[in-house]
Structure 1
Amino acid sequence: MREGCYFNETFSVTCNKTHDDLPKLYWTNSTIQITNITLEGQMRVSQFIAKDCYSQNGTRVLYKDPWIKVPLGFTINNTANKFIVVGCDTYAYVSRYRENRNYETGCTSTCDNKDDLVDGSCSGLGCCQMSIPKHVWEVEVTLNSFNNFSYVWDFNNCSYGFLAEESTFNFSASEFSRLRNVEMLPLVIDWSVGDRTCAEARNNTSSYACKSVNSECYEPANGYGYRCYCQAGYQGNPYLYHGCKGCIRSDQSFVFKLVAGIATGVSALLLAGCCLCLELNRRKLVTMKRKFFLQNGGLSLQEQLIRKEKSADMAKLFTSVELKKATNNFHNSRIIGQGRFGIVYKGILSDNRIVAIKKSKQVDPNQVEQFINE
């Protein structure tokens, strides 16, 4: 977009160093600073804020009413931007030109007390906002006060108005003081090529901007002229010769999606199989525990415990988790004796009592009663 490369002079940019020796980009030879440009037809610039401030006696002490005019092929974005007014004694409007006619629109922002303000809300109490029409190419913000802030001066003495990118502003009571020190906010501008339609532009091959072989032309919803884009299966810069580079072709994309779909399906089946296997193993373990419980006299033991539950020498039933913890998971270092049918371990209970825990190796069905008693 430098000289000798740009499509025409309205697309030229200038890179200048500022007082802090940092390079910044400006539109042509103007003071409009550019912060971002996209191939999709948008550009962000820094736009000044309108300000209107008063002293306690009602005298105006500060007034700014900025305006901006964009050249042919450029328009102010009517969806990303909003006209926003901040103040408790304020009415403001944005005006100038759209297409070849005048336009004017605005809103009122008032409040009687600081407690009326709601953070995040811009519906008329201390803040109001509205959209602008399509095809706007020049704007000016004008601020006015109903009573020169005489009744709200103790917490608000300034009005602020700006046409700016809506997503960059979130109203709060602190904006009354913060905006006093803010000079500019981002504004989204739509750009396109010239003022001709795609059909008209194609008739003049020398000036037709869609240079890449694999590019197409389209007409934007907001603004004039046309823009270019790379065809499906290509990406890059459609305004340069051979700028649209091939990416994944449609047949390759289909194969990729097919393989991805199969892989996803197989993964889902494997996951379902693992879950089913885990559930079957869990049920098998429950069945096995129940079998051993019955085989080793569990029912008889429960009956005896119920009969003796009021007895002074009532035995306590421990869980397998408690016994494992007491014996350090039946570690060999805890073994204090062995017999034909079981191993005796030294156990330390949670209350630090030392006990003997006998773990059965096997149970003789003919000696279940003895095992329970033991």
Structure 2
Amino acid sequence: MGGEQVRAAVEHCLAVLGAVADREWEGTKAGRLDWNCRETAEHIASDLIAYAGQLAGRPTARYVPFEIDMAECENNADLLEVIRTTGVLLTAVVQTTPRTVRAFHPYPFRAADREGFAAMGVAEVLLHTHDIVEGLGLPASAAVPPAGLGLCETVLARLFPHVRPGDDAWATLLWATGRGDLPDRAPVTEWKWSNPLHIDAERLVLQGVHPAAAADLAEGGTGGFDWIAGGPVDGTRTGAGLVFQAYEAGVHRPEWAMFVLVRKEDGLAVGALGYHGAPDEEGRVEIGYDLVEGARGHGYMTEAVRALADWARERGRERGDVRSLFAVVDKSNLPSQGVVSRTGFEKVSDDWGDGGQTGEQAGEHGEHFAYELRLRA
């Protein structure tokens, strides 16, 4: 998701709305919104410039407090010119902003990167174009986004990772934002963007992997990350595949999934770390991790596991859904045993079987140690 997608969404909007610029917008309600069609067009432009401003200024605690004044727009064509201009601005900022940059956005973890702002911009343009089309009484097909760039699929995977994808991505996006109905799914009355969680450590940033990136990693790509030589490793690709499977099944919970470890000094990815799912009924959640060979021996994984544990501990205090972290380590993997030991895990089994049981329960000799880190009593 980048500048090309923003440009395509804006061009679609201009083509659709340009054909009805001679209609009465100010006196016509925009679909299910409380705004009229003119106000909705103004909102599109305001969103585009706001996202460009956030990404350019990179504030960390609030929105940059500026607005654009469209009082001098005498007609609908003037409004479309403002949308065109603000779309160009967001496109340019997205294309020139480094991948590691984050700026304030409230949902849900108070920050977004260039892909997040691009995706939010695309979604605002597509959805509000639909609202205006619906308000003006045009056929619903007039607002359907162009095929080829996968705009709706990527917006869903990037901003709605908790939503099970459907056969029709546009229909699913409309449903997820309270604009349509889908068979066997309850109507949506409230919704918010869901940008990935980033956890800050000393030398690393643990960057949440959204389903679109997970699919790319699983299929042999980079997931949008710049990796050191030799990465990503097979374990990362396997984990990413499980993330995407959970997304397709509608059970993906982004904060309990996978993170790529990005080195602050150069922005390169050195490994991956993550949960094997949400906490169970006892509040226990299993973790797994791996490093690219060239990054081993520098304490990166110890630092990353500590950061992940600190986040889980704080989460447990706030919501009470996690009590401990659990790790299963091969008996021959001394470096991995060192990681869990240094980060406070205690060995709870010397004989853990491959089936998630002790060797005695599994009926065979366990080839792993099991460790647990209690986060609270």
Alignment TM class, shorter chain as reference: under 0.3
Structure 2-normalised TM-score?
0.24
Judging by fraction of residues, say which structure has more helix.
2
Structure 1-normalised TM-score?
0.24
